[in-house]
Chains A and B, each alone.
Chain A
Amino acid sequence: MDQLVILLLALPLLAGLVNQLFSKTLGYASAKLSVSAAVVTFGVALLLLIKMFSSDNTAQVMLADSWGILLADPLSSLMAVLITGISLIVRIYSVRYMIEEAGYGRFFMLLDFMTASLLLMVTSGDLITLVIAWHLVGVVLYFLLGFDTKSPVASRYALWTLITYRIGDMAMVIAAVLLFHAFGTWSLTEIFAQITENPGQHHYFGMPVEEVVGLLLALAAFARSAQLFLHTWLPYTMDGPSPVSALMHAGIVNAGGFLINRFAPIFVQTESVMHLLFAVGLATAIVGSVLMLTQNDIKKALGYSTMGQMGFMIMECGVGAFSLAIYHLIAHGLFKGTLFLAAGSVINEARQHDGVPKQDLYTFVVERRSAKRRQPWLVMAGITLAVPIIILFMAHWLVAQDFFQKQGAIVLLFFGWITGAQLLFNTYRMDVQNVWRLVGMIIFSFALVILGYVLISHAFDLFLYPDPAFRSEIYTAAHINVFWFDVLVVLTTAIIVAGWVLTYYSEQNRLKGGEQFNRLWLSFYAMVSREFYLPDLYAWLTRVLLKASARLNVLLRWR
């Protein structure tokens, strides 16, 4: 297994170096070299994962005395397959897509280095290696996003990305140093063993070191995964090549979820960090989704969709569903990568045909024409509220009968229920030939998605965290006081039901001309369309800082 881990890192690194040193001689063959290396790397990653399934061991490779440790465990092997798989697809796609671009060889070299950095990040077994890999991913991404050196816009947003990543990098460095001071080693395995044996033993300014480090690591994850207030770089980096967008949205941005899972033994010992993860994730999911709905540029909409999905991923960590977050990031990576790679063709086709199908869904959603004849509301309300919850309970009961004991599972059930109910609520008024067929299909699809999600995430749980006691500890760490939990559930339900009532009321009022509501709605829409003025605020802040820097230089006479 040791040789496989080394090979996994060495192959893309070597391909990148050869591409850089002999780019002129290689010409277009640099793509062939890069793709070949990617195929072999993917094979090695798969082999590593298969080995991990067949033997329950983890392996460590020491490249230096106190650092340079490479770790092969279930999490790293799973992430390695995702990274190598997506980077292989991106390379194959880029062979023709980038053919007319200047710097063809440079592009593949950067892709090789990015793959090597990502693989180093997921296999890091010590804090120094992790810090190095974490930094390098940001640096290589900066050059990939600013690949088109003629475009000042691409370069500007690449800088935004770098700046945001640096905030996370700094948090990560301080966390690493504090852990070293507390436990006297850089090795993650040794640190986790000490924490598990004697939790809360070390303090930093009166707080358990696990709490402080947890907060810092959460900040690093927030910056990398575009959480609220650190998200503005994500939707604006669309001037980079499409394959880079695909790689970024499918792989790099998921690093926050990976980091939280990697440091799970620390997060389970924290008191408030998990709640922070939940709150920030939830806020990001809502804001990201709202912003996505108002975009008229397909790539920017996809960018905000990624932000929303990253919010869900962090929120899942916040409720203790760590392995579900990993499943989520893999699933999201695959579908978002596909969407980005297909975005160009969609835009191209849309320029020739509007592509709008004049069918039931379009007339209902866009033109807002609903059926004249409706089903009995009591029957539909019953189906809307009851069916999703029955499906959700049955699916969860299949894998764990004690899921009622876990607040995290209840929260996820609640969200699942709301989603299912919302779906049915929105569609039963559609003007279709057979409404019962439509409802039946929706329920069937919903059941299929939920069952798949629950079963696969349960399998991930068993693979990533085989110790049932530790699995239970993660959920316990996410628990809050039962009274407040109930209050929050009731409050959220009230808000959602109020939303439904408001929708109904506005529909009615629209017919009578509810101008006041429309004005309010337009103000809200204007704010959303300006992305809550956050990019403007950051741009203004940058201008102020640069002006202050210039004034200071004049004041101090350039000395």
Chain B
Amino acid sequence: MSEIMLIIAGLFLPLFPMSMVFNGLFSRLGSPLLRIVLLLAWPLIGVAIVSSVGIEIPDWIMVWALLTAILYGFRALVLREVSLWAAFIATSLWAVLWLVIDSNEAGFSLLAFFALGFSVPLALLVLLSGELEKRFGAAYTGLYNGMAQSLPRLSWVIVIVVLAIIATPTFPAFSAVMTAMLNIAHGSLTMALMLAVAWFIWGWAGARLIQGLLIGEEREAAVADMSSGKSWAYAAALVALIYYGVCMMGGLT
């Protein structure tokens, strides 16, 4: 019974091919707000199911989760649509939550914190993709080069949000991935290496996204940059995330 529950949880803490359900749903939702709700709620359902089962996660599920993380990170490398990129990376990151789960110690609240640590920056990216769509009609990389010169505020926010997503220190995702590494490295070098590969790919995918959006000659048509108030709001959210990440690092034992 409990193993069936774990498989059901595999829908929400995505394991391939069940992960396709989330990605299908995400791309069908047109509204950024609904997408954000989905990004925030989806892994929490999985966390709740796993917490209620309360059994140790078998190694085969962990390997499955790692393969899913690598697969979606790898597939995100060539994605040009920003929202779709966020969904694929979300799938990849959430799979890592399986490695953080330790039935004896990690309760629902801690797991939920880790899940939100992954999801909040992704939700911010979906919001930012809305900003891009508002200005250019679509949020694609390689479509409008040179944003770093024409829209410096928006560019800065995008860069920092992407850094938060790809588990750069000291954002919460970094603490979550470090915790996952702590849980698996002593038992299996192969799993530790697989997690390292996934982490490596997130960095690569993130850098490709940034380059596709910001680098190149500035476009002639002028569009308005993000307002100062809005950029301060994003900055406040990011500072809160850094603080949250630093606090989570205290629990790395």
Instruction: Please give the residue numbers on chain A whose beta carbons come within 8 Å of chain B beta carbons, in ascending order.
Output: 64-67, 102, 128, 131-132, 135-136, 139, 142-143, 146, 149-152, 155-156, 159, 162-163, 166-167, 170-171, 173-174, 177-178, 180-181, 186, 204-205, 545-546, 548-550, 552-553, 556, 558-559
A155, closest chain B residue (CB): B215
Closest-CB distance, A471 to chain B (whole angstroms)? 33
A to B CB contacts below 8 Å, 10 in the list = A146-B211, A149-B146, A149-B216, A151-B215, A152-B216, A162-B203, A177-B178, A186-B252, A548-B74, A558-B23
- Any chain A CB within 8 A of the CB of B192? yes
A181 to B200, CA, bound (A): 23
> Digit string of B65-101 for contact with A (CB within 8 Å is 1, else 0)?
0000001001101110000100000000000000000
Interface assignment of B137: CB less than 8 Å from any CB of chain A: no
Least Cβ–Cβ distance between A557 and chain B, in angstroms: 8
Whether A205 contacts B189 by the Cβ 8 Å rule is yes
Asked whether any CB of chain A lies closer than 8 Å to the CB of B2, the reply is no
Docked complex Cα distance between A549 and B168 (Å): 24
CB distance from A179 to the nearest CB of B (A): 10
Q: Which 10 A-B pairs have the closest CB atoms?
A: A149-B148, A170-B196, A132-B169, A559-B20, A181-B186, A177-B185, A155-B215, A559-B23, A549-B78, A549-B77
A553 and B78 contacting across the interface, CB-CB below 8 Å: yes
Decide: A170 near B23, CB < 8 A? Known: A150-B217, A553-B79: no
* A162 B77 Cβ-Cβ under 8 A: no
CA distance A524 to B146 in the complex (A): 42
C-alpha spacing A549/B75, complex, angstroms = 5
Closest to B253 in A: A66
The answer on a CB contact under 8 Å between A64 and B77 is no
Chain A interface, >50% SS class: helix
User: Smallest distance from the beta carbon of A536 to chain B beta carbons, Å?
Assistant: 20
Q: Interface digits, B221-253 against A, CB 8 Å rule (1 contact, 0 not)?
A: 000000000000000000000000000011011
Q: Which of A136, A143, A170, A180 has the most chain B CB atoms inside 10 A of its CB? A: A170
| Cα of A152 to Cα of B169 in the assembled complex, Å | 26
B181 CB-CB contact with A under 8 Å: yes
Select A552's contact among B74, B189, B249, beta carbons within 8 Å: B74
* Whole-angstrom CA separation of A178 from B74 in the bound complex: 27
B41 contacts partner chain A, Cβ-Cβ < 8 Å: no
Residues of A within 8 A of B169 (CB): 131-132, 135-136
Q: How many A-B pairs fall under 8 Å by CB?
A: 118
The yes or no answer to B207 lying at the interface (CB within 8 A) is: yes
Q: Which residues of A contact B252 (CB under 8 A)?
A: 66-67, 128, 186
Asked whether B168 lies within 8 Å of A135 as measured between CB atoms, the reply is yes
What's the dominant secondary structure at chain B's contact region?
helix
Roughly how many angstroms separate A558 CA and B178 CA in the complex, as a whole number? 29
Looking at the assembled complex, report how far the CB atom of A150 sits from the nearest CB atom of chain B, in whole angstroms: 6
Segment 164-219 of B: residues with Cβ below 8 Å from A: 168-170, 174, 178, 181-182, 185-186, 189, 192-193, 196-197, 199-200, 203-204, 207-208, 211, 214-218
In whole Å, how far is A230's beta carbon from the nearest beta carbon of chain B?
13
Find chain B residues with CB under 8 A from A171 CB.
196
Q: Are B149 and A66 in contact (CB under 8 A)?
A: no
A558-B27 in contact (CB<8A): yes
B247: nearest residue on chain A (CB-CB)?
A64
| B163→A139 contact, CB < 8 A | yes
Interfacial chain A residues near B197, Cβ < 8 Å: 170
Which B residues are CB-close (under 8 A) to A177?
178, 181-182, 185-186, 192
Within the complex, what minimum Cβ distance (angstroms) separates A344 from chain B?
Answer: 24
Contact (Cβ within 8 A) B78 A162: no
Q: Give A65 to B247 CA distance when docked, in angstroms.
A: 11
What residues on A are CB-neighbors of B178 within 8 Å?
A: 128, 131, 173, 177
CA distance A542 to B213 in the complex (A): 20
In the complex, the answer to whether A558 meets B84 with C-beta atoms within 8 Å is yes
Which chain B residues (1-52) contact chain A, with CB distance < 8 Å? 20, 23-24, 27
Do A132 and B170 touch across chains, with their CB atoms under 8 A apart?
Answer: yes
Residues in chain A near residue B181, CB distance under 8 A: 173-174, 177
Give the residue of B23, B170, B186, B253 whose beta carbon is less than 8 angstroms from that of A178.
Answer: B186
CB proximity of B35 to chain A, nearest CB, Å: 15
Write the chain A residue with the least CB distance to B168: A139
Given A66-B252, A66-B253, A545 and B77 contact (CB-CB distance below 8 Å): yes
User: Which residue of chain B has its CB nearest to the CB of A162?
Assistant: B207
Residues of A contacting B196 with CB < 8 Å?
170-171, 173-174
Give the distance to chain B from A126, nearest Cβ to Cβ, in Å.
11
